[in-house]
A and B are shown apart, each in its own frame.
Chain A
Amino acid sequence: MSAQRSTAPRPMWRGAGMKRVGIPAWLAGSGVLIAAALSLPLAYLLMRALSYDRALAVLQRDSTWNVLAGSVALAVTTAAASVVIALPLAWLTERSDLPGRRIWRILSVIPLVIPSYIGSFALIAVLGPRGAAQQLLAPLGVERLPAIYGFGGAALALTLFGYPYVLVTVRGALRRSDPALEEAARALGDRPWQTFMHISLPQLRPAIAAGALLVALYTLSDFGAVSLMQYDALTRVIFVHYRASFNREAAAVLGLLLVAVTLVIILAESWTRGTARYFRAGAGAIRQQPPVALGRWRWLALLYCALIVGLAVVLPLGAMLGWVVTAVRYGTLAIDSLVQQTINSVLVALGAALACVIAALPIVLLSVRYPHWLSRALERLSYIGYALPGIVIALALVHFGARYLPALYQTFAMLVFGYVVRFVPEAVGALRGRMLQLNPRFEEAARTLGDDGARAFGRITTPLLAPGFVAGGALVFLTTMKELPLTLLLAPNGFATLATEIWSASSEALFAHAAAPSLVLVAVSILSLRLLLRES
Chain B
Amino acid sequence: MRNAPRWTVPATMLLLIALISACGSGAPGATAVPGATAAPGATAAPEATAAPEATAAPEATAAPEATAVQRPEPVADSEPLVIYSGRSEKLVGPLIEQFSAATGIQASVRYGDTAEMAALILEEGDNSPADVFYGQDAGALGALAAAGRLAPLPAALLEPVDSRFRSSDNLWVGTSGRARVVVYNSAAVQEADLPTSIDGFTDPAWRGRIGWAPTNGSFQAFVTAYRVTEGEDAARNWLEGILANEPKVYEGNSAIVQAVAAGEVDVGFVNHYYLWSFIAEQGEAFPARNHYLSGGDVGALINVAGVGVIATSRKAQAAEAFVAYLLGAEAQQYFSDSTYEYPVVAGISANPALMPLADIETPDIDLNDLGDLAGTLELLQDTGVLP
Q: Are B258 and A509 in contact (CB under 8 A)?
A: yes
Chain B residues within 8 Å of A350, by CB: 16, 20
Which of A74-82, A232-240, A258-266, A311-319 is near enough to bind chain B? Answer: A232-240
Q: Mark B1-17, 1 if CB is under 8 A from A, else 0.
A: 11010110110011011
Chain A residues within 8 Å of B7, by CB: 458
Q: How far is the CB of B258 from chain A (nearest CB, A)?
A: 7
Q: Are B23 and A240 in contact (CB under 8 A)?
A: no
Which of B114-122, B166-174, B291-299, B314-322 is near enough to bind chain A? Answer: B114-122
Q: Are A248 and B122 in contact (CB under 8 A)?
A: yes
Q: Are A413 and B24 in contact (CB under 8 A)?
A: yes
A210 at the interface (CB under 8 A from B): no
Q: How far is the CB of A6 from chain B (nearest CB, A)?
A: 29
A228-B255, A351-B21 given; A246·B140 CB < 8 A? yes
Q: Are A391 and B116 in contact (CB under 8 A)?
A: yes
A67-B387, A358-B13 given; A402·B123 CB < 8 A? yes
Q: How far is the CB of A30 from chain B (nearest CB, A)?
A: 11
Cβ-defined partner of B28 (8 Å) among A236, A403, A492 = A492
Q: Are B116 and A488 in contact (CB under 8 A)?
A: yes
For A244, the closest partner residue in chain B by CB is B377
A243-B217, A246-B143, A332-B281 given; A413·B127 CB < 8 A? no
Q: Are B89 and A398 in contact (CB under 8 A)?
A: no
B313 at the interface (CB under 8 A from A): no
B112 at the interface (CB under 8 A from A): yes
Q: Are B40 and A458 in contact (CB under 8 A)?
A: no
Q: Are B21 and A412 in contact (CB under 8 A)?
A: yes
Chain B residues within 8 Å of A241, by CB: 377
In the assembled complex, the Cα of A462 lies from the Cα of B248 at a distance in Å of 54
Q: How far is the CB of B111 from chain A (nearest CB, A)?
A: 6
Q: How far is the CB of A152 from chain B (nearest CB, A)?
A: 15
For B13, the closest partner residue in chain A by CB is A354
B215 at the interface (CB under 8 A from A): yes
Cβ-defined partner of B215 (8 Å) among A240, A329, A462, A488 = A240
Q: Are A63 and B109 in contact (CB under 8 A)?
A: no
Q: Are B128 and A412 in contact (CB under 8 A)?
A: no
Chain A residues within 8 Å of B20, by CB: 347, 350-351, 354, 412, 416
Q: Are B115 and A242 in contact (CB under 8 A)?
A: yes
A334-B40, A458-B6 given; A243·B128 CB < 8 A? no
Q: Mark A396-414, 1 if CB is under 8 A from B, else 0.
A: 0011001100100111110
In the assembled complex, the Cα of A533 lies from the Cα of B115 at a distance in Å of 40
Which of A88-96, A159-167, A170-178, A500-508 is near enough to bind chain B? Answer: A500-508
B263 at the interface (CB under 8 A from A): yes
Within 8 A of B (CB), among A120-139: 121, 125, 128-131
Q: Are B122 and A358 in contact (CB under 8 A)?
A: no
A495 at the interface (CB under 8 A from B): yes
Q: Are A129 and B264 in contact (CB under 8 A)?
A: yes
Chain A residues within 8 Å of B281, by CB: 326-327, 330, 332, 509-512
Q: Are A351 and B17 in contact (CB under 8 A)?
A: yes
In the assembled complex, the Cα of A337 lies from the Cα of B90 at a distance in Å of 13
Chain B residues within 8 Å of A416, by CB: 17, 20-21, 24
Q: Are B28 and A411 in contact (CB under 8 A)?
A: yes
For B88, the closest partner residue in chain A by CB is A504
Chain B residues within 8 Å of A411, by CB: 21, 24-25, 28
Q: Are A489 and B116 in contact (CB under 8 A)?
A: yes
Q: How far is the CB of B122 from chain A (nearest CB, A)?
A: 7
Q: Are A488 and B376 in contact (CB under 8 A)?
A: no
In the assembled complex, the Cα of A236 lies from the Cα of B384 at a distance in Å of 14
Chain B residues within 8 Å of A228, by CB: 251, 255
A244-B377, A347-B24, A416-B21 given; A488·B112 CB < 8 A? yes
Chain B residues within 8 Å of A239, by CB: 215
Within 8 A of A (CB), among B1-57: 1-2, 4, 6-7, 9-10, 13-14, 16-17, 20-21, 23-25, 27-28, 30-32, 37-38, 40
A130-B263, A239-B215, A398-B123 given; A410·B28 CB < 8 A? yes
Q: Are A336 and B37 in contact (CB under 8 A)?
A: yes
A466 at the interface (CB under 8 A from B): yes
A216 at the interface (CB under 8 A from B): no
B159 at the interface (CB under 8 A from A): no
Most buried by A among B127, B277, B380: B127
Q: How far is the CB of A58 from chain B (nearest CB, A)?
A: 10
Chain A residues within 8 Å of B143, by CB: 245-246
For A361, the closest partner residue in chain B by CB is B10
In the assembled complex, the Cα of A492 lies from the Cα of B118 at a distance in Å of 17
Q: Is the interface of A mostly helix, strand, loop or mixed?
A: helix
A529 at the interface (CB under 8 A from B): no
Q: Are A410 and B387 in contact (CB under 8 A)?
A: no
A236-B387, A248-B123, A395-B123 given; A500·B250 CB < 8 A? no
Chain B residues within 8 Å of A158, by CB: none
Q: Are B10 and A242 in contact (CB under 8 A)?
A: no
Q: Are A398 and B116 in contact (CB under 8 A)?
A: no
Q: How far is the CB of B150 from chain A (nearest CB, A)?
A: 13
Chain B residues within 8 Å of A399, by CB: 123
A61-B381, A412-B25, A416-B21 given; A493·B109 CB < 8 A? yes
In the assembled complex, the Cα of A130 lies from the Cα of B119 at a distance in Å of 37
B363 at the interface (CB under 8 A from A): no
Q: Are A493 and B377 in contact (CB under 8 A)?
A: no
For B278, the closest partner residue in chain A by CB is A509
Chain A residues within 8 Å of B16, by CB: 350, 354
Q: How far is the CB of B298 from chain A (nearest CB, A)?
A: 18
Q: Mark A219-230, 1 if CB is under 8 A from B, else 0.
A: 000000001101
Within 8 A of A (CB), among B332-387: 373-374, 376-377, 380-381, 384, 386-387
Chain A residues within 8 Å of B282, by CB: 326-327, 330, 332
Cβ-defined partner of A508 (8 Å) among B30, B91, B120 = B91
Q: How far is the CB of A475 from chain B (nearest CB, A)?
A: 16
Q: List 7 A-B contacts (CB under 8 A).
A: A232-B387, A347-B24, A357-B13, A409-B129, A412-B28, A508-B254, A513-B90
Query: Given contacts A488-B113, A494-B108, A512-B281, could you give 14 more A-B pairs where the C-beta distance is less than 8 Å?
Result: A63-B387, A236-B387, A243-B115, A327-B281, A329-B283, A347-B20, A351-B17, A357-B13, A358-B14, A398-B123, A402-B124, A411-B21, A411-B25, A492-B25
Chain A interface residues (CB < 8 Å from chain B): 61, 63, 66-67, 121, 125, 128-131, 144, 149, 227-228, 230, 232, 236-237, 239-248, 326-327, 329-330, 332, 334, 336-337, 347-348, 350-351, 354-355, 357-358, 361, 391, 395, 398-399, 402-403, 406, 409-413, 415-416, 455, 457-459, 462-463, 466, 469, 485, 488-489, 492-496, 500, 504-513
Closest 8 interchain pairs by CB? A412-B24, A458-B6, A492-B28, A509-B254, A494-B30, A232-B387, A402-B127, A243-B115
Chain B interface residues (CB < 8 Å from chain A): 1-2, 4, 6-7, 9-10, 13-14, 16-17, 20-21, 23-25, 27-28, 30-32, 37-38, 40, 82, 88-91, 108-113, 115-116, 118-120, 122-125, 127-129, 140, 143, 215, 217, 220, 248-251, 253-255, 257-259, 262-264, 274, 277-278, 280-283, 373-374, 376-377, 380-381, 384, 386-387
